Structure 1
Amino acid sequence: MTSPHKLTQRTAFRLAGFVALIITLTNVLIFAILFFVISQQLGQHLKAHVDEVRGTLVDVQGDESDGFRELAAAVGRHAFVAQSDEDIYLLTDREGKYVSGNVKSLERFEGWRTIPWNDLNLVGQWPSARASDAVVGTWTPVKGGYLFVGDGNGDIKDAQRLLLTGLLWGIALSVICALGGGYLIGLKAQRRVEEMEQVLDAVALGDFQRRIPRNAASDDIDHVAALINVTLDRLQRLIGNLKQVSVDIAHDLRTPISRMRQKLETIQSGPCDIATYKAAVDQSISEIDSIADTFDALLRISEIESGAQKAKFVDVELNSLLANIIDALEAVAEERHHRLYAPSAPARPVIVRGDRRLLNQLFVNLIENSILHCPPASEIKVELHNDAQQPIVRVRDTGPGIPATEREKVFRRLYRLEKSRTTRGSGLGLSLVAAIAELHSAKVTLADNKPGLVVEVMFDEVPRVD
């Protein structure tokens, strides 16, 4: 079971927290904009209402001589019912003395002003509980004095409280959803990671058959699982090859070492002349050279498989490379009464990126394989094609071929079709071919030539030639 402490350290959960922070900041920004815009709009509505009431009262005064007295009466009537609407009225004479209204006195000022309730000298008993905390109003000159009309900012405060409540709920729900979703996603991801850890632990203990189960979601974790499985497949093959190579090396070394020991024991047990000793030494040196060649080939294959040679890749023209190889091996083929030839190659140069020396070794090995294993009077044909901008080289012979069940095995190191291992050879020729081909991103396949064998080497797309 995944512990909460371990889960909170996971990237998915931390990402959810980061998303929650972004959502919170976004909500705060939206709230700030709405708060400012709505407050401004409600302030304008409040001022418009005050202007409307003020205009109505000023119209009461009219042009009559007793208009000021009628204005005072109207102000008194409005002030009498103003408490429930939080309206403020004050009419003074020219000296600023109280005439009518629901406040005793108020400093005169220009324009609009917001006045806290505590700064107002109210007339009568006003309820202490109000929706507003201040009054927004302005002074207006009238005949015989000055008129102040104001209104409480309760609607503005109500809207601001509503926005603030909505913000807090929005932030709370966003954070809860983000963290909850992050927890669930992190929990699922953690379970997948634990599956990977279990498989890798099992592989570390020697169970190379274990693989990470795939997920139908095909997400990034599933992609990593697929890469790990591919790596484990390759590791299993390499370890299997290593075990097979160890066994094959033991078999290959035992035969020449046994032959050397028998010869040396024979010479040691009986009288021999110098010529016999010399012949035994020569044979032993030949056996030792064969063993050294085997180890040199193994080291070379390992060096090629490491991929370090790719730094030396250049453009290699296959037309001239194959022509030179055929010219060099034609005499060897004729000695064994074979016919080695190449049909007409493509007119344009066929170029691949690679190491010319290694590619030369690859095709020499393939052609020599046919020369050595085909019976006399066989035909060996080397073809070069450029199908769909993919260079393909095929070596066809009319020899005994390779059984279909053995075609994959012959690329293994030290694998030989001749199980007794009495004939000369190390079984590394095709292993070297496979290593060089893989280094050049080429694919080597074996097929039936009916009769004989056809070996196909298919390279990646031809590089552009300007």
Structure 2
Amino acid sequence: MVFPPFLKQYVALVTAWWNRVKSAHSVWRLTRLYTGLLLSVVAILLVVLYQLSIGQMNRQQQLQMANIIAQQTLLAEQLTTTQFVEQFELQAHSSRQYILSYQTEQQSIGRLSEAPTLPQCPSLSRFPIWLDQYDEIRLVSGCAQPLGSGTLIVAVDDESLYELKAQFISASAIALCLAILLGLITGLIFSVRVLKRINGFNQVALQVEAGHLSARVAISEQNDEYDHMASHINTMLSQLQHSFETIAGITDAIAHDLRTPLSHLRQQIESEILDKQLENLPTEQLESMLQKLDEILFTFSSMLELTRLQQQREDNSQNFTNVNLQQVIIDAVDLIEPITENKHQFIALQLPSPLFIQGDATLLFRAVYNLLENASKYAGDNAQIEVRLTPNGFTIKDNGPGICDSEKEKVFQRLYRIEKSRGVAGFGLGLTLVKAIIQLHNGTIELLDNNPGLTVQITFAN
């Protein structure tokens, strides 16, 4: 069967909305609750309407039939058999709505030539008979009541009532379907409006989580509860951004102000080392001081570079080019190989096909190299390191001691170092810089267990 294009589009839209609503559990629950309440109200109204109309007519028929039975029973007790038969035959032929018949072993009196098998009153059963006024066979409802030496049969022509019942049932089914449709349409409108606002909050939360502290929740002109909440969230984010900028500014100011005198101090130490070398005097102490001073200067430079990367991420002013990530990984591995060979470490490359992304090749190279350097530094001698290129990023695995779950988020903080790694040379800025570079390229970094070891998973947005 070939469906028309508009029907396929409609089904696709309904399916997409259904999947979106099911994923939003709170909105779906509210939609189901509203639809259920609407159906309950409509059902109650239909039941009340039925009882006040068709139910009342049905009860009146049953009451009238009960009165006829009581009347004939009383007459059978007061009149002789001949008198009872005469009045019954007269009443049976004069009644239009009710069919009366009195059946004995000798004769059949009334409008029925023979007695059908019927339940005892007040239970009713339907059976067909020929009605002269309609000149057709119609279904009537009746019952049998023992009376004297015979059986009284009382039936009523309720085919019109049954047709009315059928019409009422059809109308009720249509009303319930319309109620369901109304509930779903209301749920659709509600979900579109509410989910749009909720998704706005979620998008801002994801941006802030990715480091974009300037992200704010849009405020509409409706001035409703969502706008009030958005206003409070924006105020909180502004205060949070100001606090981070203040802390980062103080840190950068200290690093920037101290870098100049420390550079001068370094020049003086180098000059002193040259003078002592000319005089053949020992310079070990000065060289040790120069090494520690270089470490401090490197730390300050890394902190300033980290701030620069974060500002680029906020301003989104970086001009990217098409970068082959496969070649970047190969270049980083070539550079780190001499270090890994000295530690008897093995690097396995899994690069199935090139992966091109928009970015800065130098920064991406630095991120990959820092991750490889960390793996080589902390995995230990004879370690196995694997670099795998994935369809949307890459992973770096090692079989070293790994990082416990409680430390996996903290290692991305500035100057944070795990206690067990303090004996290894480092400044606690490597992973912080890597994360800043990855986020600058609209990517995410995640630390996972390799059992044993650590897996660093990098994923870039399409």
Q: TM-score range by the shorter chain?
A: 0.3 to 0.5
Q: TM-score, normalised by structure 2?
A: 0.43
Which of 1 and 2 has greater Rg? 1
Q: Which structure is higher in RCO with an 8 Å CA cutoff and minimum separation 6?
A: 1
